[in-house]
Amino acid sequence: MVSWIVGSAIAIALYVLIYYNFLKGVPWRSDTSLKGKTVIVTGATTSLGKATALDFACRGARVILACRSKERAESAIFDIRKKSGNNQVIYMHLDLASLKSVRAFAETFLRSEPQLHLLINNAGTGSPGQTVDGFNIALGVNHLGHFLLTNLLLERLKQCAPSRIVVLSSLAYCLSRIDFSNLSITGGGLINEVQKYCLSKLCNILFARELANRLEGTNVTSYVVHPGFVFTDVFRDLGLLAKLVFGPIAFLFFQTPMDGVQTTIYCAVQEGIEKFSGRYFADCKVRKVFPHARDDAVAKKLWEVSERMVGLCRH
């Protein structure tokens, strides 16, 4: 019994040491005001998105929660307004799994909101299934929906420059490579679903890189962020087996949403990082990505292929 107690105490001590020194992430604080600024946060009803929206609201920004569920958005808005004391927090319907919905959102926003200073492409999913347009959900929501949204809002961002675009990615990009002959991977099963998610995160990084190249000289900058391993709702629609595998690991070792948003906030408000446009950030620092994620030729081709997939091709 004594040995069991001692062993348990050592295990708990090791867990605490590892979690708070290596997994929890780097806290970052700034009192930068966003009064007079307008921000869009996609997927802002829970987890990282809600925590990001709350931070911006506390800084005085006008915050647009771009989400699918009106009911969940209204609940999030109530909480954010109460905690921030800022009533300039509103909902606009956006379903990133539908290109028609993305276009409708952009049209409504551009008609009703004269300014846009920050676009936070936060929403993400690892769910199985297909979008309305026939793409796998991970690629459709995590990359293509945001790709179209960003392009439709670019002129407004340029008009309100200096402005920024922050794209959430993941270290999971390491496990994927671009195959343009099979970009929208099909098929089910846990391994296939993980592959789809990892590919979408690689696309996020390449998208932000090419976006920065195309925006050079406009005073609009883009940044891609790995928020850390955060206990979010991203895998909420996975099957029972996946939940049994990922659930306990996420609960024990992943960060809280408030921990996870620190790098997003950093890239949104920190002064002097404009020279790092298109780069990958983690723990509020620029990080080097593997060669396959910084290939400009692949990034350019992905942009052109994505244009065709979402119906933006101008050629």
Q: Could you count the other beta carbons within 10 Å of the beta carbon of residue 162?
A: 12
Query: Using the 8-state DSSP alphabet, how is residue 131 labeled?
Result: -
Structure tokens at 69: 């569920």
CA 239 to each of CA 66, 137, 243: distance values in angstroms, whole numbers, following the listed order: 26, 15, 6
Q: Which of 80, 158, 167, 159 is nearest to 119 (CA)?
A: 167
- Select which of 173, 197, 266, 280 is catalytic: 197
Strands (E), 154-245: 163-168, 220-226
Q: Are 178 and 206 in contact (CB under 8 A)?
A: yes
Query: Using the 8-state DSSP alphabet, how is residue 135 labeled?
Result: S
Place of tokens 């029972």: 240
Q: Among this protein's residues, is 197 annotated catalytic? A: yes
Q: Are 97 and 122 in contact (CB under 8 A)?
A: no
- Tell me the β-bridge partners of 220: 163
**Active-site residues: which are they?**
197
